[in-house]
Amino acid sequence: MQMTRKIKQHFFKKLYSLMTDFFLMYFREGNEPEETTQITYRELLVQVCRCSNVLQKQGIQKGDRVAIYMPMIPELVVAMLACARLGALHSIVFAGFSAESLCERILDSSCSLLITTDAFYRGEKLVNLKELADEALDKCREKGFQVRCCIVVKHLGRAELGTGDSPSQSPPIKRPCPDVQISWNQGVDLWWHELMQEAEDECEPEWCDAEDPLFILYTSGSTGKPKGVVHTVGGYMLYVATTFKYVFDFHAEDVFWCTADIGWITGHSYVTYGPLANGATSVLFEGIPTYPDVSRLWSIVDKYKVTKFYTAPTAIRLLMKFGDEPVTRHSRASLQVLGTVGEPINPEAWLWYHQVVGAQRCSIVDTFWQTETGGHMLTPLPGATPMKPGSATFPFFGVAPAILNESGEELEGEAEGYLVFKQPWPGIMRTVYGNHERFEATYFKKFPGYYVTGDGCRRDQDGYYWITGRIDDMLNVSGHLLSTAEVESALVEHEAIAEAAVVGHPHPVKGECLYCFVTLCDGYTFSPTLTEELKKQIREKIGPIATPDYIQNAPGLPKTRSGKIMRRVLRKIAQNDHDLGDTSTVADPTVICQLFNHRCLTIQ
């Protein structure tokens, strides 16, 4: 009996190994078009096992938290899956976030270890990531917390490693490599390639319960403090595998490409877990849509014969500005399904995506979902759902949406109100890391018995759902959520600022941008130097994505008698719209006039 089991095990192991030897997992495309590699499932497995052994050797066990701060390179996928193999929770911090944001996230979940990279290029821009990681770890130390070690992938300096030593067979960077100064902290820093070289190729996975946590991913919270969204092994994986299969109508011969960074939920679900759980072949892209030129995306589509493509409205709007030729210059004949995510897509961008990119033959899947939902919630199914430009159409299987009014009553038929979900689905987040009360208060308190998305929504006479945008104090800049509170607190940390209020303002590419009103402390004057300092402060505290487009001097802010800032009024002032609606609750109406007069002093 024992013998037969052993033979069977051996047989399946061999078969699996043979299959995975040839099965392509990623076409990796670096920042430069020549930096390409192919990675098979077998190669990934070996790298993941090695990395798991490395982490285990550094003391990582089931339940530990590991922070990952890396660009879109194969080692990022290896690191996250190695954590999953050990039952450790990865907490990936987008490489565009500042040292301060990284520190805050490491501290919040007391990560034992950090994995990062020497440096990388984003288009023409060089990012010295190790410097930011060092700064974050210094800040952690100042607050009395020390990670066990920091593992550093040599990415920009890959050329020095020579071929063969290069992890994941990534070729050396072709671009002239500047002499990036990497500071090295003895006793803390360890080179990834040195550890990986010594590690064994096999590592038994740690068995986990379906409800064990898989990872933490931070998302902006309306109080300003990011929330560590926790997803689980069973529910999340099942949900992303299923939504990937049906929403992209996945078939084995497909080449899938999601352009999102793994630092966001879209990358977690549809670059890593969803495609991998389906055995898909995907593109892993490190670069940006406009480098070396604005036709980069379409040249990649042709290069790898991409069949299913998934991006954000902000990227579509950005590329639309350059006209049709950079798109039509490439064949795009392989494309079948085009997806969008991150924010409401305006019909103009939808039509361009459909008519120009998809040459009117591709289905558009406008997928509405959130970090918290794990996977798609409202979405068309390609070829099956009649499309309406700008509508995320209908719920995915098992999803039960409702639209509520302010009193929490469910509205029937044509209606507009709060978008909620009436029953849980496998991929729903399970808690906010370390703060279950906050989880309950944020999502379930306003309307007991419902999951509250924080989005407004309209249902038309045909039952189609149309997301109308956030109805809480959140902003959606280029598809990324930011809370007004976190930007405001970064502003008031400047010595010149007494008070600040931030609102969203329409932007042709980003969808929404930040418009900040600042009240100065006595003795300070409003000037371009001050606004530059404020922008720098925000970049340092949060990251470049939060850089404001407008900063306006506000000697006073419109407030209710109870002292609440009236953002609705500020949004109108930012747009120079004098139709303010009811202003009877403004404590000091003269402030409004003053702010309209000061608009001309706004600095972009």
Q: Where on the chain is the footprint of ligand AMP (CB under 6 A)?
A: 219, 265, 341-344, 366-371, 392, 453-455, 467, 470, 476, 480-481
**C-beta of 472 vs 533, nearer to ligand AMP:** 472
Min dist. Cβ of residue 340 to ligand AMP (A)? 6
**Shortest CB 452 distance to ligand AMP, Å:** 10
Q: How long is the chain?
A: 604
Residue 157 is given by DSSP the state: G
Q: What three-state secondary structure class fits 112?
A: coil
Query: Closest CB to ligand AMP among 298 and 418?
Result: 418
Residue 414 token pair: 């044509």
Q: Which of 262, 392 has the CB closer to ligand AMP?
A: 392
Minimum CB separation of residue 265 from ligand AMP in Å reads 5
Tokens coding 245: 């299969």
- Tell me how far, at minimum, the Cβ of 388 lies from ligand AMP, in Å: 13
Taking the complex as a whole, how short is the minimal distance between the CB of residue 470 and ligand AMP, in angstroms? 5
Shortest reach from residue 218's CB to ligand AMP, in Å: 10
Q: Identify any residues that bridge with 395 across adjacent strands, giving them in sequence order.
A: 378
Work out how close the CB of 366 gets to ligand AMP at its nearest, in angstroms, rounded to a whole number: 5
Q: Which is nearer to ligand AMP, 370 or 537 (CB)?
A: 370
Closest CA to 165 of 178, 177, 153: 153
d(CA 485, CA 221): 8
Closest CB 187 distance from ligand AMP, rounded Å = 37
Residue 119 half-sphere exposure, CB side, CA atoms within 13 Å? 18
Closest CA to 172 of 300, 303, 36: 36
Burial of 486 (0-12, 13-18, 19+ CB in 10 A): buried
Largest CA distance in the chain: 88
Kindly state the smallest distance separating residue 585's Cβ from ligand AMP, in Å.
27
Q: CA-CA distances (angstroms) from residue 339 to 183, 312, 325, 368, 458?
A: 41, 8, 21, 11, 21
Q: Which is nearer to ligand AMP, 151 or 467 (CB)?
A: 467
Whether a cis peptide bond, with omega within 30° of 0, leads into 292 is yes
Compute the distance between CA of residue 503 and CA of residue 570 in angstroms, rounded to an integer. Answer: 7
Nearer to ligand AMP by Cβ, of 31 and 367: the residue is: 367
Structure tokens at 95: 């490489």
Q: Which is nearer to ligand AMP, 41 or 450 (CB)?
A: 450
- Long-range contacts, 534-537 (Cβ 8 Å, 24+): 534/491, 534/494, 534/497, 537/490, 537/491, 537/493, 537/494
Q: Which is nearer to ligand AMP, 82 or 247 (CB)?
A: 247
Taking the least distance from each CB to ligand AMP, the nearer of 37 and 346 is 346
Q: Are 393 and 464 in contact (CB under 8 A)?
A: yes
Identify the sign of the CA torsion 470, 441, 400, 92: positive
